[in-house]
A and B are shown apart, each in its own frame.
Chain A
């Protein structure tokens, strides 16, 4: 691996050079992730467009006289998810620090990362609570347009929360296997990017359903 991108082959048979990441590789991986998130922004943008169009058809917003999802729980969930993002980001950045006390760095990464994961799990539970509350009150996705919107959009978001949690767990396993370090951390930074994206989407859902 070198920075000019020109590589000579030695002998007839190409050999695997089992590389560490270069800065160039990291840019590649980040660029791929940014494109992916750009794509997913359009996907969620479509859902928000539908939300705005359909919300316009509901005379009173939020609908009066029926059970609504609990705003305080949703507010707490928002804070929990935001805190989770902060921890995940700090964990990701701790990997970039120049080597030195190697074992210290890994343990600080692990504790930050696990805290982020647990907070993420907490968000998932609060989300489940929101649904459960509504279902107990007799409101399901078939009850009307408001419920269609609320359940439909939060389901799609929750699916991404699950994918995000899976990525965070995968990162933790990798870290336990000592796979990451300053020269091998694209997966971690990309997982963090995805997790932030999931958080930002939730922020819009929160604003749409509970604030405006």
Chain B
């Protein structure tokens, strides 16, 4: 039926690789799916940066192919479509499957000592629902009048039929709905699996922090994705069936109208937890990897767990800081400001724990470790600048400028992306049975990290100088013309960042098929996933393991001088 029962291994290609119910295969499917979409979203970002640096100049290489009517120049409507779909794709089709789908499916059962997810069929359904969502989103790019232009937030009235004609916006809403349904299925599966399938001895305080991060993310998924699901249903009803939930009275032919601001509330009730949905797994991975590669126990394990739980709870009650300029009442605005500020307390606890884990550690600067450490830096930059946006006085000035773009890219985009890279480099040997090239990995890291910091730090400067986001051409506005050199510099760094990802693609594909065969435990860590053979057998564990110690027993003096680590299935001596 479920859980600890062992299914016979499927033999047909279709059951083994396509409609598989094995969490390991589904994890790989999610990973490939997410990486492809990250690539598509990344190319879109490159085109955006091209337009901003060289307004009106045809896109080189493939411009004529994509924009034949304007002989390669990105027209304003296409520009709107590009930034809208870039955001949507990166969040819903790139990071969500790569971080939550792939990492969650791979690590949860293996790290808690289970044979599979608790509902394997639901797991398969989750992946294929996401594929359907991706297909609808992709199809929307090719309908007459093009995909949505309303921004990834899809605010009415831009997103109602008043502002967005054509099918693009409707298809976008349906795609978000389907992807959300997929995330809810995954979330229900992850939560139930972690609660019910932990192997004997794996109590809550022995869980690897990766699993904690994914568990809390799943709770947010299950509780807050339905909110955007309902918001999307109302949007589709407005667009297709002519209801007036979001259409204000003034543009109706008389009668009572709805409320566009309602959508903003619904969107951000979901939208703010979504930020933490993406970042919590990355935090979990960072907590674990810093300990693994500093060869020290994760400092303050319990406080890290507490901090992540606190962030999860607080994330539900701060969404109003996205709406300071909509005319929230002063009391509400100040409450949201205060609650937002309070989030930095548990976040600081995590930072303190990370830095203290590194302190006097025996650092092994492997590629996953470099990416994990970079998350501290990148998220630190993004988090500190968040304070300015949480404060009403400064936010009203900075709202909808590149300062905001820089801030949220560093926090939810870059941190989650680097967390994903860390996870991919770390679990690749177990996943595919081969090692990734360390040399190329480090090259990829430095060529990603440095340009990325440059890109978004320049955005802070240009945003602070008043450059608004979502403008098609900053040179067309007198007061922004002196800032154009900042746009050019950002774009140059962004192209470097984009080019660096080709190293990753090359390394990933080459290592997948021609890399060196990986030993069972190349990183010398003790969590349950590394106790299995490489490649992991269909049933994961021949005997369900029994856990005897925590996940981070590194350099424990009782281990003696010969080794500095111990499997979780072994008993600490003495």
Using a CB–CB cutoff of 8 Å, the interface residues on chain A facing chain B are 1, 4-9, 13-17, 19, 21, 24-25, 27-29, 31-32, 35-36, 38-40, 42-47, 49-50, 53-54, 57-58, 63, 141-149, 151-152, 155-156
Contacts and interface: CB of A to CB of B under 8 A. Distances in A.
Given A28-B196, A141-B243, 8 more contacts: A4-B200, A5-B4, A9-B542, A31-B192, A35-B222, A145-B255, A145-B256, A152-B243
Interface in B212-242: 222-227, 229-231, 233-234, 237, 241-242
17 contacts: A5-B197, A14-B538, A14-B539, A28-B2, A32-B192, A35-B191, A36-B188, A39-B226, A42-B224, A42-B226, A46-B226, A141-B243, A143-B255, A145-B255, A148-B237, A148-B243, A155-B237
B543 A46 contact: no
Contact of B237 (A21, A25, A57, A141): A141
A54 B543 contact: no
A147 B200 CA distance: 56
Nearest to B539: A14
Given A32-B188, A35-B188, A141-B237, A58 B538 contact: no
Closest 9 CB pairs of A and B: A43-B226, A148-B243, A46-B230, A14-B6, A145-B256, A142-B242, A144-B255, A42-B226, A35-B188
A144 B223 CA distance: 31
A128 to B, nearest CB: 17
B223 A6 contact: no
B188 to A, nearest CB: 5
Contacts of B7: 14, 16
A50 B4 contact: no
Nearest to A148: B243
Contacts, number: 155
Interface of B: 1-9, 118-119, 122, 184, 187-189, 191-192, 195-197, 199-200, 222-227, 229-231, 233-234, 237, 241-245, 249, 255-259, 262, 265-266, 269, 538-539, 542-544, 546
Contacts of B199: 5
B160 to A, nearest CB: 12
Contact of A141 (B225, B241, B262, B542): B241
B118 A43 contact: no
Nearest to A46: B230
A137 to B, nearest CB: 16
A16 B256 contact: no
B452 to A, nearest CB: 35
Given A9-B539, A25-B3, A39-B188, A145 B244 contact: yes
Contacts of B4: 1, 5, 7
A47 B269 CA distance: 13
Contacts of B229: 43, 46
A19 B195 CA distance: 22
A25 B119 CA distance: 11
Contact of A14 (B9, B227, B546): B9
A2 B233 CA distance: 44
Given A5-B4, A50-B262, A42 B227 contact: yes
A174 B200 CA distance: 35
Given A19-B1, A44-B230, A58-B256, A7 B6 contact: yes
B223 A28 contact: no
A6 B544 contact: yes
Contacts of A8: 543
Contacts of B255: 143-145
Contacts of A63: 256
